[in-house]
Amino acid sequence: MKKILSLFLILTLVSLFGGCAAAGNQAAEKGEWESVQVAFEADDYYARLERCVKQIREKTDFVPDIVLVLGSGLGDYADSVKIVAEIPYSEIEGFPVSTVAGHDGTLIFCEIEGKKVVVMNGRVHYYEGYDIHEVVLPLRVLHLLGAETVVLTNAVGAINADYNVGDFVLNVDYISSFVPSPLTGENIDKLGDRFVDMTNAFDEELNAIVEGVANENKIPVHRGVMVQTTGPQYESPAEIKMYRSLGADTVGMSTVVETIAARHMGMRVCSISCITNMAAGMQEKISHEEVQSSSDDASKSFAVLVSGLLKKMA
Ligand code: HPA
């Protein structure tokens, strides 16, 4: 009896798997699976990067050494620089365009403190609905234009109770575990290796320069660990407790994924965060208006830090 039951079970399983395989073959023949089989095509994506580079090259032959990414409310800095060329993101086919108020979306090719800089005035965020590979596309394009260093700025909430609104934080490490990696999918071998070391993601030499400039100008600056969340909602107080217990000092909705993409390409990274609010549960409530007005208030100090860095860096 046992033998008969086992045989029946085996026959049932074989017919079930056979059925699935047959259905699968039919679907594959119809081409229904093609879109899910290859989620990310490295060659197609790289070709798009090259098309973006070509379009920019048709407008300017400027070769930047440094990318400066301006975060929310920090856009005014771009008004004070010596502009060589300006290209709105919307004029570059294949470039993602930001939908957030306060993130203008223009590439500004300029000289600051004698350095050749391309300013990304505005960035796109994962929470806007863009795929994570789109979020880092501009940085990859600007690296292909020649930039080997990136200075990332952003607004963050402070998780560390010793920090104050208006202080700055030099990121010395990060937690990316709550956002998808921009390196998932087929590796783009022309940009970097499949597996990337993140031990010293942020450049200590650049951090030391910013720290020196901050001290000279009595601007409060800390060294901290940033966690990136997907947003767009601000965190819950319970989430903030969790991030604190994991070792995070600040929380924001950008920067970490760009750092990962930059390190994949071997770029030097310096990341300066401006504290616009205490994190959820540490103040009464958080609003986008408060985040914007705090970063506006900090814009003068921010300009001092960035200009000082650009002046002194090799
Ligand atoms: N959380 C996430 N992102 C932020 C915050 C915050 O509190 N403040 C500014 N950006």
pLDDT in tens, 19-61: 444 444 454 455 555 555 567 899 999 999 999 999 999 999 9
Q: Does position 9 have pLDDT exceeding 50, yes or no?
A: no
CA–CA separation, 110 and 81 (whole Å): 7
User: Ligand 1 mean position to 155 CA, how many Å?
Assistant: 7
Give the start-end residues of each E strand in 56-146.
66-70, 82-88, 106-112, 115-121
Task: Give the pair of three-digit tokens for residue 44.
Answer: 């197609």
Q: Which of 313, 75, 305 is nearest to 170 (CA)?
A: 305
CA–CA separation, 55 and 72 (whole Å): 26
The protein residue whose alpha carbon is closest to atom 3 in ligand 1 is: 252
User: Ligand 1 mean position to 119 CA, how many Å?
Assistant: 22
Q: Which of 187, 155, 169, 177 is nearest to 228 (CA)?
A: 177
Residues linked to residue 88 through DSSP beta bridges, in sequence order: 106
Nearest-atom number in ligand 1 for the CA of 157 is 7
User: Ligand 1 mean position to 254 CA, how many Å?
Assistant: 10
The protein residue whose alpha carbon is closest to atom 7 in ligand 1 is: 157
Q: Which of 282, 269, 256 is nearest to 176 (CA)?
A: 256
Q: What is the mean pLDDT of residues 241-254?
A: 98
Domain ranges of the chain: 37-312
H or E element at residue 204: helix 204-216
| CB-defined site of ligand 1, < 6 Å | 155-157, 229, 234-235, 251-253, 276-277, 279, 286, 291
279-307 per-position pLDDT tens digit: 999 999 999 888 888 888 888 899 999 99
Q: Are strands 268-278 and 106-112 parallel, antiparallel or unpaired?
A: unpaired
Model pLDDT, residue 73: 61
Q: Does position 197 have pLDDT exceeding 90, yes or no?
A: yes
User: Ligand 1 mean position to 197 CA, how many Å?
Assistant: 27
What's the distance, Cα to Cα, between the start and end of the chain in Å? Answer: 82
Q: Which of 256, 259, 132 is nearest to 184 (CA)?
A: 132
Catalytic residue positions?
72, 103, 125, 127-128, 155, 253-254, 277, 288
Q: For residue 246, what are the CA distances in angstroms to 6, 41, 168, 249, 250? A: 50, 34, 21, 9, 11
The protein residue whose alpha carbon is closest to atom 6 in ligand 1 is: 157
Nearest-atom number in ligand 1 for the CA of 278 is 7
Model pLDDT, residue 296: 81
The protein residue whose alpha carbon is closest to atom 2 in ligand 1 is: 252
CA–CA separation, 235 and 237 (whole Å): 6
DSSP conformational letter for 194: S
CATH 3.40.50.1580 fits 37-312, yes or no: yes
Model pLDDT, residue 206: 98
Q: Does position 125 have pLDDT exceeding 70, yes or no?
A: yes
**Which residue type, as a one-letter code, is found at position 254?**
S
CA–CA separation, 12 and 5 (whole Å): 11
Q: Is the peptide bond before 232 cis (omega within 30 degrees of 0)?
A: yes
Q: Which residue has the tokens 């709550």?
A: 178
User: Ligand 1 mean position to 233 CA, how many Å?
Assistant: 9
Q: Give the contacts of 302 (CB within 8 A, at least 6 positions apart).
A: 74, 77, 153, 168, 272, 274, 295
Look at 3 and 115; give whichever has higher pLDDT.
Answer: 115
